[in-house]
Amino acid sequence: MELPFTLATLLDLILLGMVLEGAALIVWRRRTGKGPRVGATVRVLLAGGLVLIAWRAHLAGAPLPGVALILGLGGLAHLLDIKGRWE
């Protein structure tokens, strides 16, 4: 069964959804004072987004060192997210 879209297109749509989600959460927080803090929103979405960007870069034929760098940045963002949640 052939899909009407490619994996790259699906990743692009997911990334777009993440950007819209982040923008909505930040606007909500600033207007109401409720919801996750802006820094927490950015950290969690950045960590996941960088993994998807690395995957997308690999699909586009990016060299492995570049993909590894993006994944490393995603790992760093993940560690910062964990640090921000630590009590």
**Domain locations in the chain as residue ranges:** 7-85
Of 1, 6, 14, give the one whose Cα is nearest residue 53: 14
Selected residue with higher pLDDT from 5 and 35? 35
Closest C-alpha among 69, 40, 39 to residue 54: 69
- pLDDT tens sequence across 11-48: 999 999 999 999 999 999 999 999 999 999 999 999 99
Q: What is the pLDDT of residues 41-82, one digit of tens each?
A: 999 999 999 999 999 999 999 999 999 999 999 999 999 999
- CA distances for 62 relative to 59, 71, 72, 86, angstroms: 7, 13, 15, 35
Predicted pLDDT of residue 77: 96
pLDDT at 4: 80
Whether pLDDT at 87 is above 80: no
